[in-house]
A and B are shown apart, each in its own frame.
Chain A
Amino acid sequence: MSRLVRAELVKLRTVWSTWVILIIAVAFTLPGGLLVGFAPHNNGIRHLIFPTEGTRAWFDLVLSTMDVVLDLALILGILMVTGEYRHKTVTPTFLYEPRRGRVAAAKLFAAAGAAVAVAVAGGVAGLLLGFGLVASGHGNIAEMLGAFGHVFPGVLFATVLFGVYGLGLGAIMKNQVAALVTGLGASAVIEPLVASTVPAVGRWLPGEAAQALESVTAHAIKGGHGGGFLTGITGLKLVTWWEGALALLIYGLVFVIAGSLTTLRSDVT
């Protein structure tokens, strides 16, 4: 099994899409944080919900832009399966390992590992941004590191689970475009829609479950009133962090297993 996982990692680091994803993780977090942190002050809604510059809550908000890595891990997971079908590399893959469930399992571990790398890339960018802000006189280093300590573990955990969830989507759908549209479309359009209309269901959807997970540490510090910046607006009551983690894990595993039993089993012609 370890050979199969290593082979998956070789495949990942030898295509440009992996590196583009890592670059985006860095390139998006840096300006994204600045944009959120220094949005125009004369915005009505901003005064109601926006924390004071330099506080821990403000750093929480600025650093939470690193959660773009969730969607990036989702994309990476999707590409790990659908890329094989798109370029027909699935043929050599199933030739060296005809037990397809083992291939799926190896991809699962590799996707989790790759998601850690993506999360770390976002985390490094977040730290750089944080140190930059401190150096330029926006808050002190203790508040910044404290905020990083809230945000990053949840993001890291959620990113790993999103990588597995993406892999599962890819395994079920096999078609790259369909899986990307479904995965990203769900998190951008369908989930928020469901969350606002049927919150009882919506809060269990992957994006919302991830939000619950991301706010895990912030949640504890703030004394349990929880919720991210966006849910502060939508008013969606999130599930607890461990419920979110469990939900995401189930999405990922169920999809990967369902994919290995159906799509991945079909004839490769």
Chain B
Amino acid sequence: MPDLRLQGLTKRFGSVLAVSDLSFTVGPGVVTGFLGPNGAGKTTTLRMLLGLVSPDSGTALLNGVPYRDLPNQTRAVGAVLEASGFHPGRSARKHLLAIATASGIDRTRVDEVLAMVGLSEVANARVGGYSMGMRQRLELARAVLGDPEILILDEPANGLDPQGIAWIRQFLRSFASLGRVVLVSSHLLAEAAQTVDEVVILARGHLVGKGRLSEMLDRQAATVRIRTPEHEQARLLAALRDAGFAPGCVNMNDATTVTVQGASPEAVAPVITANGILVYEMTSGGGSLEGLFFEMTEGAGLGDMVPGYSPGAVPGYVRGGER
């Protein structure tokens, strides 16, 4: 059975810790989403899996061996990375032909994969004239050239139109249903929610969540979130603890959001009124991947993902000259 195993993977670029002690495994038969905000370390992790970036420590094994020790990389693993990596003057067919030649793959497979991704008619045209979506499809064709058991995709929906995105979703499902491994990174949560069965959530190089998406969403749906002014935070937390809950806490801007997992608003509201605590807002349910994502990434104190990159605290445009 094909699988991916990451163990203690760590990579530092200068002073930036891109990936920190990351361990997880990915099994066959399901589509596993690799989620995280921009700069979370997703691409670096995938490139370490593929031997393009060497980790500072830790191992990444595919079917039990490092990428470079696979007997035939193209036949074992397919990778969709950024949609560049084409010579603009070379045709799609010749691009794939070079790789097929290097990997000992029959050239009839080239036309087969081009047909699979719908590029047959433009196969002899220079890639320089391709749209972003066509390049993304060509990248996918390259990935499956060796009929691999493992497919690793970095933001494959980038540059695709809605039809293209729906198409790739079907493609990944049918690939996984053959008992193969699919690991697909994305920062587009709405899209990922429709595509993936399992999720691995990464924030600032750390693993912050992993599991079956449906179970994680159920858990998240049974969470009450209470927004309260900062000076009420301590009292609210104490009151909830006294009532037998195990509250968590997320600070954002000038307000605090206290979360209570496995509780209902009906159970929490009396605690608040009995103690006369000021509350701005109380919500529950949702069960959205987006909600889950924010809770996991911000709850881990990892709200700003990239050091030195912090968007304005309150989203909004600032005109030139304004103070």
Pick 10 A–B contacts, CB within 8 A, sort by A: A11-B98, A16-B89, A17-B89, A87-B85, A87-B86, A88-B84, A98-B50, A99-B68, A267-B52, A267-B53
Decide yes or no: A14 and B94 within 8 Å by CB, A98-B68, A269-B47 being known contacts: yes
Report whether over half of chain A's contact residues are helix, strand or loop; otherwise say mixed. Answer: helix
Residue B217 interfacial (CB < 8 Å): no
**Band of interface residues on A:** 20 to 34
CB <8 Å contact, B53 and A98: no
Residue A52 interfacial (CB < 8 Å): no
Most A CB contacts (10 A, CB to CB) among B74, B90, B104 go to B90
Q: How distant is A78 from chain B, measured CB to nearest CB, in Å?
A: 15
* Chain B residues with CB under 8 A of A262: none
CB <8 Å contact, A10 and B89: no
**Distance, CA A6 to CA B102, complexed state (A):** 7
* Chain B residues with CB under 8 A of A14: 87, 90-91, 94-95, 97-98
Residue B293 interfacial (CB < 8 Å): no
Q: Can you name the residue of chain A whose Cβ is closest to the Cβ of B103?
A: A96
CB <8 Å contact, A269 and B90: no
* Chain B residues with CB under 8 A of A11: 87, 90, 98
CB <8 Å contact, A10 and B98: yes
CB <8 Å contact, B101 and A3: yes
CB <8 Å contact, A83 and B87: yes
Q: Which chain B residues have a beta carbon within 8 Å of chain A's beta carbons?
A: 43-44, 47, 50-54, 67-68, 73-74, 79, 81-82, 84-91, 94-95, 97-99, 101-104, 142
CB <8 Å contact, B102 and A87: no
* Chain A residues with CB under 8 A of B54: 267
Q: How distant is B191 from chain A, measured CB to nearest CB, in Å?
A: 24
Q: How distant is A122 from chain B, measured CB to nearest CB, in Å?
A: 24
**Distance, CA A238 to CA B79, complexed state (A):** 52
Q: How distant is B48 from chain A, measured CB to nearest CB, in Å?
A: 9
**Distance, CA A16 to CA B104, complexed state (A):** 25
**Distance, CA A227 to CA B227, complexed state (A):** 88
* Chain A residues with CB under 8 A of B103: 3, 96
Interface residues in A133-173 (C-beta closer than 8 Å to B): none
Interface residues in A60-98 (C-beta closer than 8 Å to B): 83, 87-98
Select which of A3, A89, A267, A269 is within 8 A of B104 by beta carbon: A3
Q: How distant is B9 from chain A, measured CB to nearest CB, in Å?
A: 14
CB <8 Å contact, B73 and A97: yes
Q: Can you name the residue of chain A whose Cβ is closest to the Cβ of B77?
A: A95
Q: How distant is B47 from chain A, measured CB to nearest CB, in Å?
A: 7
Residue A15 interfacial (CB < 8 Å): yes
A87-B88, A89-B87 given; 8 more Cβ-contact pairs under 8 Å: A11-B87, A14-B90, A83-B87, A87-B86, A88-B82, A91-B81, A96-B99, A267-B52
Q: Which chain A residues have a beta carbon within 8 Å of chain B's beta carbons?
A: 3-4, 6-7, 10-11, 14-17, 83, 87-99, 267-269
Select which of B85, B90, B97 is within 8 A of A88 by beta carbon: B85
Select which of A7, A95, A97, A268 is within 8 A of B53 by beta carbon: A268
Q: How distant is B150 from chain A, measured CB to nearest CB, in Å?
A: 12
CB <8 Å contact, A95 and B74: yes
**Distance, CA A91 to CA B43, complexed state (A):** 13
* Chain B residues with CB under 8 A of A95: 50, 52, 73-74, 79
**Distance, CA A15 to CA B94, complexed state (A):** 9
Q: Can you name the residue of chain B whose Cβ is closest to the Cβ of A13?
A: B94
Q: How distant is B97 from chain A, measured CB to nearest CB, in Å?
A: 6
* Chain B residues with CB under 8 A of A98: 50-51, 67-68, 73
* Chain B residues with CB under 8 A of A268: 47, 52-53
Q: Can you name the residue of chain B whose Cβ is closest to the Cβ of A106?
A: B102
**Distance, CA A10 to CA B102, complexed state (A):** 10
Decide yes or no: A92 and B142 within 8 Å by CB, A3-B104, A15-B89 being known contacts: yes
* Chain B residues with CB under 8 A of A93: 102
Q: How distant is A23 from chain B, measured CB to nearest CB, in Å?
A: 15
Select which of B74, B82, B90 is within 8 A of A15 by beta carbon: B90
**Distance, CA A83 to CA B86, complexed state (A):** 10
CB <8 Å contact, B84 and A87: yes
* Chain B residues with CB under 8 A of A17: 89
Q: Can you name the residue of chain B whose Cβ is closest to the Cβ of A17?
A: B89
**Distance, CA A15 to CA B86, complexed state (A):** 11
**Distance, CA A111 to CA B91, complexed state (A):** 22
CB <8 Å contact, A269 and B101: no
* Chain B residues with CB under 8 A of A269: 43-44, 47, 52-53
CB <8 Å contact, A3 and B81: no
**Distance, CA A87 to CA B98, complexed state (A):** 15
CB <8 Å contact, A6 and B68: no
* Chain B residues with CB under 8 A of A87: 84-88
Q: How distant is A3 from chain B, measured CB to nearest CB, in Å?
A: 6
Decide yes or no: A10 and B94 within 8 Å by CB, A83-B87, A95-B74 being known contacts: yes
* Chain A residues with CB under 8 A of B88: 87
Q: How distant is B6 from chain A, measured CB to nearest CB, in Å?
A: 17
Q: Can you name the residue of chain A whose Cβ is closest to the Cβ of B44?
A: A269
Q: Can you name the residue of chain A whose Cβ is closest to the Cβ of B88?
A: A87
**Distance, CA A98 to CA B51, complexed state (A):** 7
Q: How distant is A73 from chain B, measured CB to nearest CB, in Å?
A: 20
* Chain A residues with CB under 8 A of B68: 98-99
**Distance, CA A133 to CA B91, complexed state (A):** 42
Most B CB contacts (10 A, CB to CB) among A7, A95, A98, A269 go to A95
**Distance, CA A7 to CA B107, complexed state (A):** 12
Decide yes or no: A96 and B47 within 8 Å by CB, A15-B89, A87-B88, A269-B53 being known contacts: no
